[in-house]
Homo-oligomer: A and B are copies of this chain.
Amino acid sequence: MRKLHLHYRMRFAVLVFASVATMTTFGLDNGLMRTPPMGWLAWERYRCDIDCKNDPKNCISEKLFIDMADRLFEDGWKELGYVYVNIDDCWSSMERDKDGRLQPDPNRFPGGIQRLARYMHDRGLKLGIYGDMGTHTCGGYPGTTLDKIEIDAQTFADWEVDMFKFDGCYSNAIEQELGYPLMSKALNATGRPIGYSCSWPAYQGGLPPKVNYTQLGQICNLWRNYGDIQDSWNSVLSIVDWFFENQDVLAPAAGPGRWNDPDMLVIGDFGLSMEQSRFQMALWAIMAAPLFMSNDLRTISSGAQSILQNKMIISINQDPLGIPGRRILKEKVGIEVFWRTLSNNASALVFFSRRTDMPYRYKTSLSKLNYTTGSYKFTDVYTGKTDVLKDSTEFVVSVNPTGVVMWYVSAPGKLKYHPFIRGGKRHEPAYDAEENTFPRVFL
Protein backbone atom coordinates (compact mmCIF):
# COMPACT_ATOMS: atom_id res chain seq x y z
CA MET A 1 0.00 0.00 0.00
CA ARG A 2 2.71 2.40 1.00
CA LYS A 3 4.82 1.29 -1.92
CA LEU A 4 2.01 1.93 -4.33
CA HIS A 5 1.55 5.30 -2.80
CA LEU A 6 5.21 6.18 -3.32
CA HIS A 7 5.07 4.99 -6.87
CA TYR A 8 2.16 7.33 -7.49
CA ARG A 9 3.98 10.21 -5.95
CA MET A 10 6.89 9.68 -8.26
CA ARG A 11 4.66 9.57 -11.28
CA PHE A 12 3.02 12.74 -10.07
CA ALA A 13 6.38 14.54 -9.92
CA VAL A 14 7.24 13.47 -13.44
CA LEU A 15 3.89 14.69 -14.71
CA VAL A 16 4.30 18.06 -13.04
CA PHE A 17 7.66 18.51 -14.66
CA ALA A 18 6.32 17.53 -18.04
CA SER A 19 3.43 19.91 -17.78
CA VAL A 20 5.56 22.88 -16.92
CA ALA A 21 8.04 22.08 -19.67
CA THR A 22 5.41 21.90 -22.40
CA MET A 23 2.97 24.56 -21.19
CA THR A 24 3.66 27.02 -23.96
CA THR A 25 3.10 24.54 -26.75
CA PHE A 26 -0.01 23.01 -25.22
CA GLY A 27 -3.07 23.11 -27.34
CA LEU A 28 -6.10 20.90 -27.58
CA ASP A 29 -6.09 21.44 -31.31
CA ASN A 30 -8.52 18.61 -31.90
CA GLY A 31 -10.46 20.35 -34.65
CA LEU A 32 -13.71 19.77 -32.76
CA MET A 33 -16.62 22.03 -31.95
CA ARG A 34 -16.03 24.77 -34.48
CA THR A 35 -19.60 25.74 -33.58
CA PRO A 36 -21.04 25.29 -30.07
CA PRO A 37 -21.73 21.62 -29.30
CA MET A 38 -25.36 20.51 -29.08
CA GLY A 39 -26.94 17.57 -27.38
CA TRP A 40 -28.24 16.29 -24.11
CA LEU A 41 -26.65 16.08 -20.66
CA ALA A 42 -28.05 14.19 -17.70
CA TRP A 43 -27.13 16.31 -14.72
CA GLU A 44 -29.68 19.07 -14.16
CA ARG A 45 -32.70 16.85 -14.67
CA TYR A 46 -31.51 13.52 -13.27
CA ARG A 47 -28.74 14.49 -10.82
CA CYS A 48 -27.35 11.55 -8.88
CA ASP A 49 -30.50 9.44 -8.96
CA ILE A 50 -29.12 5.90 -8.67
CA ASP A 51 -32.30 4.35 -7.27
CA CYS A 52 -33.04 2.07 -10.21
CA LYS A 53 -35.14 -0.18 -8.04
CA ASN A 54 -37.76 2.44 -7.20
CA ASP A 55 -37.20 4.91 -10.02
CA PRO A 56 -36.15 2.76 -12.98
CA LYS A 57 -37.11 5.27 -15.66
CA ASN A 58 -35.11 8.12 -14.22
CA CYS A 59 -32.06 6.62 -12.57
CA ILE A 60 -28.58 7.10 -14.02
CA SER A 61 -28.26 3.93 -16.06
CA GLU A 62 -27.56 2.88 -19.61
CA LYS A 63 -31.31 2.66 -20.15
CA LEU A 64 -31.68 6.40 -19.56
CA PHE A 65 -29.03 7.26 -22.15
CA ILE A 66 -30.42 4.76 -24.62
CA ASP A 67 -33.89 6.23 -24.13
CA MET A 68 -32.59 9.72 -24.80
CA ALA A 69 -30.57 8.56 -27.79
CA ASP A 70 -33.69 6.99 -29.24
CA ARG A 71 -35.58 10.22 -28.82
CA LEU A 72 -32.78 12.31 -30.34
CA PHE A 73 -32.67 9.91 -33.25
CA GLU A 74 -36.38 9.51 -33.82
CA ASP A 75 -37.89 12.90 -32.91
CA GLY A 76 -35.99 15.21 -35.20
CA TRP A 77 -33.33 16.38 -32.77
CA LYS A 78 -30.31 14.82 -34.45
CA GLU A 79 -30.90 16.51 -37.78
CA LEU A 80 -30.91 19.86 -36.00
CA GLY A 81 -27.51 19.21 -34.48
CA TYR A 82 -28.35 17.74 -31.09
CA VAL A 83 -25.93 14.80 -31.32
CA TYR A 84 -24.15 14.49 -27.99
CA VAL A 85 -25.64 12.18 -25.36
CA ASN A 86 -23.65 13.00 -22.26
CA ILE A 87 -23.29 11.10 -19.04
CA ASP A 88 -22.60 13.21 -15.95
CA ASP A 89 -21.70 12.24 -12.39
CA CYS A 90 -22.61 8.98 -10.62
CA TRP A 91 -22.06 6.62 -13.55
CA SER A 92 -19.06 4.78 -12.16
CA SER A 93 -18.46 2.06 -9.71
CA MET A 94 -17.21 3.15 -6.31
CA GLU A 95 -13.94 1.35 -6.98
CA ARG A 96 -11.52 1.39 -9.85
CA ASP A 97 -10.78 -2.01 -11.41
CA LYS A 98 -7.74 -4.11 -10.63
CA ASP A 99 -5.74 -2.21 -13.24
CA GLY A 100 -6.66 1.15 -11.74
CA ARG A 101 -9.16 2.02 -14.42
CA LEU A 102 -12.53 3.62 -13.88
CA GLN A 103 -15.38 1.23 -14.48
CA PRO A 104 -19.12 1.81 -14.76
CA ASP A 105 -21.50 0.61 -12.07
CA PRO A 106 -22.15 -2.96 -13.17
CA ASN A 107 -25.82 -2.97 -12.24
CA ARG A 108 -26.71 0.28 -13.92
CA PHE A 109 -24.42 -0.05 -16.95
CA PRO A 110 -24.32 -3.81 -17.50
CA GLY A 111 -23.38 -3.40 -21.16
CA GLY A 112 -20.46 -1.13 -20.38
CA ILE A 113 -19.58 2.26 -21.75
CA GLN A 114 -18.07 1.11 -25.01
CA ARG A 115 -21.25 -0.65 -26.04
CA LEU A 116 -23.16 2.49 -25.15
CA ALA A 117 -20.81 4.57 -27.30
CA ARG A 118 -21.37 2.22 -30.21
CA TYR A 119 -25.12 2.51 -29.72
CA MET A 120 -24.70 6.24 -30.20
CA HIS A 121 -22.35 5.94 -33.16
CA ASP A 122 -24.66 3.52 -34.93
CA ARG A 123 -27.25 6.30 -34.89
CA GLY A 124 -24.99 9.19 -35.85
CA LEU A 125 -24.85 10.35 -32.23
CA LYS A 126 -21.92 10.85 -29.89
CA LEU A 127 -21.31 9.82 -26.30
CA GLY A 128 -19.96 12.10 -23.59
CA ILE A 129 -18.67 11.06 -20.21
CA TYR A 130 -17.77 12.75 -16.95
CA GLY A 131 -14.84 12.81 -14.55
CA ASP A 132 -13.53 15.02 -11.83
CA MET A 133 -10.14 16.60 -11.29
CA GLY A 134 -9.75 15.68 -7.65
CA THR A 135 -9.94 12.89 -5.16
CA HIS A 136 -13.67 12.36 -5.68
CA THR A 137 -16.36 13.50 -8.04
CA CYS A 138 -18.86 16.00 -6.64
CA GLY A 139 -21.17 13.05 -6.01
CA GLY A 140 -18.49 11.12 -4.12
CA TYR A 141 -17.42 8.70 -6.86
CA PRO A 142 -13.75 8.05 -7.71
CA GLY A 143 -12.03 11.20 -8.89
CA THR A 144 -9.14 11.66 -11.26
CA THR A 145 -6.10 12.71 -9.31
CA LEU A 146 -3.08 13.96 -11.24
CA ASP A 147 -1.56 10.50 -11.35
CA LYS A 148 -4.73 9.08 -12.90
CA ILE A 149 -5.09 11.54 -15.75
CA GLU A 150 -3.36 9.52 -18.41
CA ILE A 151 -5.00 6.24 -17.59
CA ASP A 152 -8.46 7.83 -17.48
CA ALA A 153 -7.97 9.64 -20.77
CA GLN A 154 -6.87 6.39 -22.35
CA THR A 155 -9.82 4.54 -20.83
CA PHE A 156 -12.28 7.01 -22.34
CA ALA A 157 -10.54 6.77 -25.71
CA ASP A 158 -10.59 2.98 -25.52
CA TRP A 159 -14.32 3.16 -24.90
CA GLU A 160 -14.68 5.36 -28.02
CA VAL A 161 -16.09 8.23 -26.04
CA ASP A 162 -16.49 11.53 -27.93
CA MET A 163 -16.58 14.15 -25.21
CA PHE A 164 -15.33 14.48 -21.67
CA LYS A 165 -16.48 16.86 -18.94
CA PHE A 166 -13.83 17.37 -16.29
CA ASP A 167 -15.38 18.66 -13.08
CA GLY A 168 -13.36 20.17 -10.24
CA CYS A 169 -14.69 19.04 -6.87
CA TYR A 170 -12.15 17.97 -4.24
CA SER A 171 -9.08 19.60 -5.73
CA ASN A 172 -7.29 22.82 -4.97
CA ALA A 173 -6.24 25.63 -7.30
CA ILE A 174 -2.74 24.26 -7.79
CA GLU A 175 -3.97 20.78 -8.64
CA GLN A 176 -6.42 22.28 -11.10
CA GLU A 177 -3.75 24.41 -12.69
CA LEU A 178 -1.78 21.26 -13.32
CA GLY A 179 -4.59 18.86 -14.01
CA TYR A 180 -6.70 20.63 -16.62
CA PRO A 181 -3.81 21.17 -19.07
CA LEU A 182 -2.50 17.68 -18.40
CA MET A 183 -5.84 16.15 -19.23
CA SER A 184 -5.95 18.18 -22.42
CA LYS A 185 -2.63 16.79 -23.44
CA ALA A 186 -3.57 13.29 -22.38
CA LEU A 187 -6.76 13.36 -24.42
CA ASN A 188 -4.84 14.62 -27.44
CA ALA A 189 -2.26 11.93 -26.92
CA THR A 190 -4.85 9.19 -27.25
CA GLY A 191 -5.28 10.10 -30.89
CA ARG A 192 -9.06 10.04 -30.54
CA PRO A 193 -10.83 13.37 -31.02
CA ILE A 194 -12.55 13.95 -27.69
CA GLY A 195 -14.32 17.23 -26.99
CA TYR A 196 -13.01 18.60 -23.72
CA SER A 197 -15.26 20.47 -21.30
CA CYS A 198 -13.46 22.10 -18.39
CA SER A 199 -15.20 23.13 -15.19
CA TRP A 200 -11.99 24.80 -14.05
CA PRO A 201 -12.94 28.50 -14.36
CA ALA A 202 -16.19 27.95 -12.44
CA TYR A 203 -14.09 26.78 -9.49
CA GLN A 204 -11.91 29.88 -9.68
CA GLY A 205 -14.64 32.53 -9.83
CA GLY A 206 -14.74 32.73 -13.62
CA LEU A 207 -12.78 35.96 -13.95
CA PRO A 208 -9.19 37.15 -14.46
CA PRO A 209 -6.69 37.29 -12.97
CA LYS A 210 -7.49 33.93 -11.42
CA VAL A 211 -8.84 32.64 -14.72
CA ASN A 212 -6.75 32.81 -17.88
CA TYR A 213 -9.11 32.64 -20.83
CA THR A 214 -6.31 32.65 -23.36
CA GLN A 215 -4.97 29.46 -21.86
CA LEU A 216 -8.44 27.93 -21.61
CA GLY A 217 -8.98 28.56 -25.30
CA GLN A 218 -5.82 26.63 -25.95
CA ILE A 219 -6.61 23.57 -23.88
CA CYS A 220 -10.39 23.21 -23.68
CA ASN A 221 -13.23 23.20 -26.21
CA LEU A 222 -15.67 24.63 -23.70
CA TRP A 223 -15.62 25.63 -20.09
CA ARG A 224 -18.08 26.30 -17.34
CA ASN A 225 -17.51 29.86 -16.18
CA TYR A 226 -20.12 30.06 -13.45
CA GLY A 227 -22.22 28.08 -10.97
CA ASP A 228 -24.58 25.24 -11.78
CA ILE A 229 -27.90 26.06 -13.36
CA GLN A 230 -31.06 25.11 -11.47
CA ASP A 231 -34.58 24.60 -12.74
CA SER A 232 -35.74 28.12 -11.94
CA TRP A 233 -36.10 31.52 -13.52
CA ASN A 234 -33.96 33.06 -10.78
CA SER A 235 -31.13 30.74 -11.72
CA VAL A 236 -31.40 31.33 -15.48
CA LEU A 237 -31.58 35.08 -15.04
CA SER A 238 -28.69 35.22 -12.57
CA ILE A 239 -26.51 33.34 -15.05
CA VAL A 240 -27.41 35.70 -17.87
CA ASP A 241 -26.82 38.71 -15.65
CA TRP A 242 -23.39 37.46 -14.65
CA PHE A 243 -22.34 36.69 -18.20
CA PHE A 244 -23.34 40.09 -19.54
CA GLU A 245 -22.01 42.02 -16.59
CA ASN A 246 -18.69 40.42 -17.51
CA GLN A 247 -19.12 40.48 -21.26
CA ASP A 248 -15.99 42.53 -21.83
CA VAL A 249 -13.98 39.64 -20.46
CA LEU A 250 -16.10 36.70 -21.56
CA ALA A 251 -17.22 37.51 -25.08
CA PRO A 252 -13.68 37.76 -26.49
CA ALA A 253 -12.75 34.46 -24.86
CA ALA A 254 -15.01 32.43 -27.10
CA GLY A 255 -14.72 31.50 -30.74
CA PRO A 256 -14.70 28.44 -32.99
CA GLY A 257 -13.46 25.50 -30.98
CA ARG A 258 -13.54 27.27 -27.61
CA TRP A 259 -16.77 28.27 -25.93
CA ASN A 260 -18.06 29.79 -22.75
CA ASP A 261 -20.58 27.39 -21.22
CA PRO A 262 -23.37 29.01 -19.17
CA ASP A 263 -24.60 25.46 -18.45
CA MET A 264 -27.53 23.35 -19.56
CA LEU A 265 -30.85 24.31 -21.10
CA VAL A 266 -33.63 23.64 -18.59
CA ILE A 267 -36.34 24.18 -21.21
CA GLY A 268 -38.87 21.37 -20.95
CA ASP A 269 -38.42 20.93 -17.21
CA PHE A 270 -40.60 22.31 -14.42
CA GLY A 271 -39.48 25.79 -13.47
CA LEU A 272 -39.68 27.98 -16.56
CA SER A 273 -42.73 29.47 -18.19
CA MET A 274 -42.95 29.44 -21.97
CA GLU A 275 -41.76 33.06 -22.07
CA GLN A 276 -38.81 32.23 -19.86
CA SER A 277 -38.02 29.20 -22.02
CA ARG A 278 -37.93 31.43 -25.09
CA PHE A 279 -35.63 33.74 -23.13
CA GLN A 280 -33.16 30.97 -22.32
CA MET A 281 -33.02 29.74 -25.91
CA ALA A 282 -32.58 33.28 -27.23
CA LEU A 283 -29.85 34.25 -24.78
CA TRP A 284 -27.94 31.00 -25.23
CA ALA A 285 -27.97 31.78 -28.96
CA ILE A 286 -26.71 35.31 -28.35
CA MET A 287 -23.94 33.95 -26.11
CA ALA A 288 -22.89 31.32 -28.68
CA ALA A 289 -23.36 28.85 -25.86
CA PRO A 290 -23.31 25.07 -26.06
CA LEU A 291 -26.87 23.75 -26.28
CA PHE A 292 -27.05 20.81 -23.93
CA MET A 293 -30.61 20.06 -22.94
CA SER A 294 -31.22 18.43 -19.59
CA ASN A 295 -34.81 17.31 -19.70
CA ASP A 296 -37.00 14.32 -20.36
CA LEU A 297 -37.24 13.96 -24.11
CA ARG A 298 -39.73 11.12 -23.63
CA THR A 299 -42.38 13.38 -22.17
CA ILE A 300 -41.41 16.90 -23.30
CA SER A 301 -44.30 19.22 -24.14
CA SER A 302 -44.80 20.29 -27.73
CA GLY A 303 -44.33 23.91 -26.66
CA ALA A 304 -40.91 23.28 -25.17
CA GLN A 305 -39.92 21.07 -28.08
CA SER A 306 -40.77 23.72 -30.63
CA ILE A 307 -38.61 26.27 -28.81
CA LEU A 308 -35.66 23.87 -28.65
CA GLN A 309 -36.14 22.89 -32.28
CA ASN A 310 -36.44 26.42 -33.64
CA LYS A 311 -34.23 26.30 -36.72
CA MET A 312 -33.56 30.00 -37.00
CA ILE A 313 -32.39 30.31 -33.40
CA ILE A 314 -30.23 27.23 -33.76
CA SER A 315 -28.65 28.73 -36.87
CA ILE A 316 -27.93 31.93 -34.94
CA ASN A 317 -26.41 29.90 -32.13
CA GLN A 318 -24.35 27.95 -34.67
CA ASP A 319 -23.22 30.93 -36.73
CA PRO A 320 -19.83 30.01 -38.21
CA LEU A 321 -18.16 33.26 -37.14
CA GLY A 322 -18.66 32.16 -33.56
CA ILE A 323 -18.61 35.68 -32.19
CA PRO A 324 -20.65 35.97 -28.98
CA GLY A 325 -23.09 38.83 -28.69
CA ARG A 326 -23.36 41.56 -26.12
CA ARG A 327 -25.91 43.46 -24.11
CA ILE A 328 -26.04 46.86 -25.76
CA LEU A 329 -28.80 48.56 -23.79
CA LYS A 330 -30.31 48.50 -20.34
CA GLU A 331 -33.34 50.74 -20.04
CA LYS A 332 -34.59 51.93 -16.69
CA VAL A 333 -38.05 50.59 -17.51
CA GLY A 334 -36.65 47.06 -17.44
CA ILE A 335 -36.07 46.53 -21.14
CA GLU A 336 -32.69 45.24 -22.26
CA VAL A 337 -31.37 44.79 -25.78
CA PHE A 338 -28.84 42.16 -26.80
CA TRP A 339 -27.07 42.03 -30.12
CA ARG A 340 -24.89 39.51 -31.88
CA THR A 341 -23.03 39.91 -35.14
CA LEU A 342 -23.47 37.07 -37.58
CA SER A 343 -21.98 35.94 -40.84
CA ASN A 344 -23.28 37.36 -44.14
CA ASN A 345 -23.36 40.80 -42.58
CA ALA A 346 -26.42 39.78 -40.60
CA SER A 347 -27.09 40.20 -36.91
CA ALA A 348 -29.42 39.04 -34.17
CA LEU A 349 -31.34 41.32 -31.81
CA VAL A 350 -33.04 40.29 -28.60
CA PHE A 351 -35.42 42.58 -26.74
CA PHE A 352 -35.93 41.35 -23.19
CA SER A 353 -38.33 42.59 -20.51
CA ARG A 354 -37.35 42.14 -16.90
CA ARG A 355 -40.79 43.38 -15.85
CA THR A 356 -43.37 41.27 -14.04
CA ASP A 357 -46.50 43.23 -14.86
CA MET A 358 -47.68 43.28 -18.46
CA PRO A 359 -46.29 43.37 -22.00
CA TYR A 360 -44.19 46.47 -22.47
CA ARG A 361 -44.45 48.41 -25.70
CA TYR A 362 -40.84 49.40 -26.36
CA LYS A 363 -40.31 52.10 -28.93
CA THR A 364 -36.99 52.41 -30.69
CA SER A 365 -35.38 52.38 -34.12
CA LEU A 366 -32.50 50.48 -35.65
CA SER A 367 -30.43 53.64 -35.75
CA LYS A 368 -30.93 54.02 -32.01
CA LEU A 369 -29.54 50.50 -31.77
CA ASN A 370 -26.51 51.71 -33.73
CA TYR A 371 -27.37 50.26 -37.10
CA THR A 372 -26.02 52.27 -40.03
CA THR A 373 -28.17 53.99 -42.62
CA GLY A 374 -30.14 51.65 -44.80
CA SER A 375 -33.05 49.28 -45.03
CA TYR A 376 -32.98 46.04 -43.10
CA LYS A 377 -35.00 42.93 -43.51
CA PHE A 378 -35.81 41.28 -40.21
CA THR A 379 -37.52 38.05 -39.20
CA ASP A 380 -39.05 37.47 -35.79
CA VAL A 381 -37.54 34.08 -35.00
CA TYR A 382 -40.45 32.95 -32.83
CA THR A 383 -43.40 34.16 -34.89
CA GLY A 384 -41.80 33.97 -38.33
CA LYS A 385 -43.06 37.48 -39.10
CA THR A 386 -40.88 39.26 -41.63
CA ASP A 387 -40.68 42.92 -42.49
CA VAL A 388 -38.37 45.62 -43.78
CA LEU A 389 -37.33 48.58 -41.67
CA LYS A 390 -35.38 51.68 -42.45
CA ASP A 391 -32.75 52.41 -39.84
CA SER A 392 -34.52 55.64 -38.94
CA THR A 393 -38.04 54.22 -38.71
CA GLU A 394 -39.45 54.20 -35.19
CA PHE A 395 -41.07 50.91 -34.33
CA VAL A 396 -42.67 49.33 -31.27
CA VAL A 397 -41.95 45.83 -30.03
CA SER A 398 -44.30 44.44 -27.43
CA VAL A 399 -42.18 42.43 -25.02
CA ASN A 400 -43.87 40.09 -22.56
CA PRO A 401 -42.85 39.94 -18.90
CA THR A 402 -39.71 37.78 -18.52
CA GLY A 403 -39.95 37.18 -22.25
CA VAL A 404 -38.14 38.18 -25.38
CA VAL A 405 -38.67 39.32 -28.92
CA MET A 406 -35.83 38.02 -31.09
CA TRP A 407 -35.00 39.15 -34.59
CA TYR A 408 -32.69 37.89 -37.26
CA VAL A 409 -31.63 41.03 -39.14
CA SER A 410 -30.19 40.94 -42.62
CA ALA A 411 -27.96 43.93 -43.10
CA PRO A 412 -28.01 45.81 -46.39
CA GLY A 413 -24.35 46.65 -46.32
CA LYS A 414 -21.49 47.00 -43.97
CA LEU A 415 -22.20 47.36 -40.27
CA LYS A 416 -20.83 50.41 -38.53
CA TYR A 417 -18.40 48.24 -36.61
CA HIS A 418 -17.60 44.61 -36.05
CA PRO A 419 -16.75 43.77 -32.49
CA PHE A 420 -14.17 41.11 -31.90
CA ILE A 421 -12.84 41.12 -35.43
CA ARG A 422 -10.05 38.64 -35.26
CA GLY A 423 -6.73 38.29 -36.90
CA GLY A 424 -5.78 35.10 -38.64
CA LYS A 425 -4.68 33.33 -35.52
CA ARG A 426 -7.23 31.21 -33.81
CA HIS A 427 -6.32 31.98 -30.27
CA GLU A 428 -5.54 35.64 -30.42
CA PRO A 429 -8.71 37.60 -30.92
CA ALA A 430 -7.99 41.17 -31.93
CA TYR A 431 -10.67 42.45 -29.64
CA ASP A 432 -10.59 46.23 -29.54
CA ALA A 433 -12.55 47.66 -26.69
CA GLU A 434 -12.31 51.16 -28.16
CA GLU A 435 -13.89 50.16 -31.42
CA ASN A 436 -16.91 48.66 -29.68
CA THR A 437 -17.89 51.59 -27.58
CA PHE A 438 -21.46 52.40 -28.43
CA PRO A 439 -21.81 56.15 -28.69
CA ARG A 440 -25.04 56.18 -26.78
CA VAL A 441 -25.91 53.35 -24.53
CA PHE A 442 -23.30 50.69 -24.77
CA LEU A 443 -22.92 48.50 -21.73
Contact = CB atoms under 8 A, between A and B. Distances in A.
Interface stretch (A95-103, A216-224, A269-277): A269-277
A55 interface: yes
A27 interface: no
Interface string A200-239: 0000000000000000000000000000001111110000
A239 B1 CA distance: 59
A403 B356 CA distance: 20
A54 B361 contact: yes
A47 interface: yes
Most buried by B among A234, A359, A396: A359
Given A270-B273, A275-B270, A401 B231 contact: yes
Most buried by B among A44, A45, A47, A232: A232
Interface string A44-71: 1111010100110010000000000000
Interface in A364-402: 396, 400-402
B356 A271 contact: yes
Interface string A134-169: 000000000000000000000000000000000000
A356 B235 contact: yes
Interface string A268-297: 011111111000000000000000000000
Given A54-B396, A230-B356, A232-B233, A402 B271 contact: yes
B275 A358 contact: no
Contacts of A45: 358
A122 interface: no
Contacts of A233: 232-233, 271
A434 interface: no
Contact of A234 (B234, B274, B401): B234
Given A270-B403, A396-B54, A232 B358 contact: no
Contacts of A403: 270
Interface string A79-99: 000000000000000000000
B270 A231 contact: no
B273 A358 contact: no
A279 to B, nearest CB: 10
A356 to B, nearest CB: 4
A271 B276 CA distance: 7
Given A54-B396, A396-B54, A231 B357 contact: yes
Contacts of A235: 356
Nearest to A400: B270
Nearest to A232: B356
Given A54-B396, A232-B233, A396-B54, A357 B47 contact: yes
A231 B354 CA distance: 11
A36 B378 CA distance: 49
A396 B234 CA distance: 29
Nearest to A277: B273
14 contacts: A44-B357, A47-B357, A54-B361, A54-B396, A55-B361, A231-B356, A231-B402, A232-B356, A233-B271, A234-B234, A270-B275, A271-B401, A273-B276, A274-B301
Interface of A: 44-47, 49, 51, 54-55, 58, 230-235, 269-276, 301, 356-359, 361, 396, 400-403
A-B pairs with lowest CB-CB distance, top 6: A230-B356, A232-B356, A270-B401, A270-B275, A270-B400, A231-B356
